[in-house]
Amino acid sequence: MSYEETNMKSDVENEFLSVEKGQEWNSFFNAIRDECSRIYDYTSLEAKKPKNKDLNRYRDVYPYDHSRIILSRGPTDYINANLVVVDKAKRKYILTQGPLPQTTSHFWLMIWDQNCRAIVMLNRIIEKHVIKCHQYWPTADHSGEESSIICNDVNLKVTNISEEKNSCYTTTKLRFHFKYDKQEAAPPRILFFALQTFKNAIVDSYRLEDMKTGEQREVIHYHCTTWPDFGVPQSPTAFLKFLYAVRASGALDNAGPTVVHCSAGIGRSGTFCLVDSCLVMIQDMKLTNIVVKDILIEMRKYRMGLIQTWGQLRFSYLAIIKGIDKAELENGCPDDADEVNEVESEDEAPPLPPPRNESLHHREGVVKNGKVVSV
Catalogue the active-site residues. Answer: 262
Residue 74 is labelled as binding a ligand: no
204 labelled binding-site residue: no
Rounded Cα distance between 226 and 6, Å, is: 31
308 annotated to a ligand binding site: yes
Q: Is 185 annotated as a binding residue?
A: no
38 is in an annotated binding site: no
Q: Is 33 annotated as a binding residue?
A: no
Smallest CA-to-CA distance from 295 within 30, 76, 12 is with: 12
CA distance 74 to 154: 6
| 267 in a labelled binding site | yes
Q: Annotated binding residue at 229?
A: yes
Residue 227 and residue 268: Cα distance in Å, rounded?
Answer: 8
Among the listed residues 197, 307, 198, the one whose alpha carbon sits nearest the alpha carbon of residue 262? 307
Nearest CA to 153 out of 183, 116, 117, 187 is that of 187
Q: Is 264 annotated as a binding residue?
A: yes
Output the known binding site: 229, 262-268, 308
Give binding residues for substrate as ranges: 229, 262-268, 308
